[in-house]
Amino acid sequence: MKIAPYECYTLYLAIKQHFSNEKYDFFQYNGKVRSSIKTYNKRNDRYFFEKLSRKYNKQELIEYFVASFTDNPSIWIGDLKQKADDNYAQWKARIESLSYKFQEELKQLTQNQHLYECIQSENNKHSPIIRSYIRGDLSLETLFIMNDILNFIKESEYDPVIKEINLKIKKYKPFFEYNKTHFVELIKKIYVE
């Protein structure tokens, strides 16, 4: 079901707040944010939300905004208008081929080293899996799944990179569903071959 442009705008604000503010939780507050129709009507970019509200239903809009804010939690609305369609298409492709993408990324990651070595940090250096994610060789979904299964990313108040990754994973978790048992089996399959 399509939603009104103003509702699309408040959805955008709520998801942006969810990913950029540690204390705001989209699900806890049921997507409620402080906004007004008067403020919305003064925005120069309201046509963007009008266009989106005609094109997507509410669930698709949630995915649309999540795709962009997981990519960059502090993305500016001007950049969002330019990159959001591509972010959404790439995100949908990753989700639709999640098993395949996961296996390929994991095989690439462990090509020259054992999985255990990939998740271990040594000498205050980030683990190979974290470095691979930072370089863009590993998707957030693969990192999320691996961490959910193996719990290797430890909270660090001293490492801003790990802190940022942990926050991104924590904020993405309620939006991302996957079959954990299936992915545990995929990991086993990769290492039995």
Burial 67-81, CB ≥16 within 10 A → b, else e? bbbbbebebeeeebe
141 and 110 both lie in a single domain: yes
Domain boundary residue among 95, 125, 154?
A: 95
Q: What is the pLDDT of residue 193?
A: 57
73 and 127 both lie in a single domain: no
117 and 90 both lie in a single domain: no
Nearest CA to 10 among 44, 54, 55, 40? 40
162-184: pLDDT as tens digits = 999 999 999 999 999 999 999 99
Q: What is the pLDDT of residue 122?
A: 81
Domain containing 12 equals 5-95
104 and 87 both lie in a single domain: no
CB 124 within 8 A of CB 116: no
User: What band does 189 get if pLDDT is binned at 50, 70 and 90?
Assistant: confident
Q: What is the mean pLDDT of residues 8-14?
A: 96
89 and 109 both lie in a single domain: no
Q: What is the pLDDT of residue 76?
A: 86
Q: What is the pLDDT of residue 192?
A: 63
103-138: pLDDT as tens digits = 999 999 998 888 888 998 887 789 999 999 999 999
Q: What is the mean pLDDT of residues 133-160?
A: 91
53 and 86 both lie in a single domain: yes
Residue 74: CATH number of its domain: 1.10.8.60
56 and 118 both lie in a single domain: no
- Pair of tokens at residue 192: 């039995």
84 and 123 both lie in a single domain: no
Lowest mean pLDDT among 27-41, 131-145, 150-164: 150-164
Q: What is the pLDDT of residue 124?
A: 79
Q: What is the pLDDT of residue 114?
A: 87
Domain boundary residue among 95, 124, 154?
A: 95
Residue 150: CATH number of its domain: 1.10.220.50
Domain boundary residue among 46, 73, 95?
A: 95
109 and 88 both lie in a single domain: no
Q: What is the mean pLDDT of residues 125-154?
A: 94
88 and 106 both lie in a single domain: no
Say how many domains are in the chain: 2
Average pLDDT of the chain?
92
181 and 113 both lie in a single domain: yes
User: What band does 25 get if pLDDT is binned at 50, 70 and 90?
Assistant: very high
90 and 101 both lie in a single domain: no
Does the structure show a pLDDT above 90 at 97?
yes
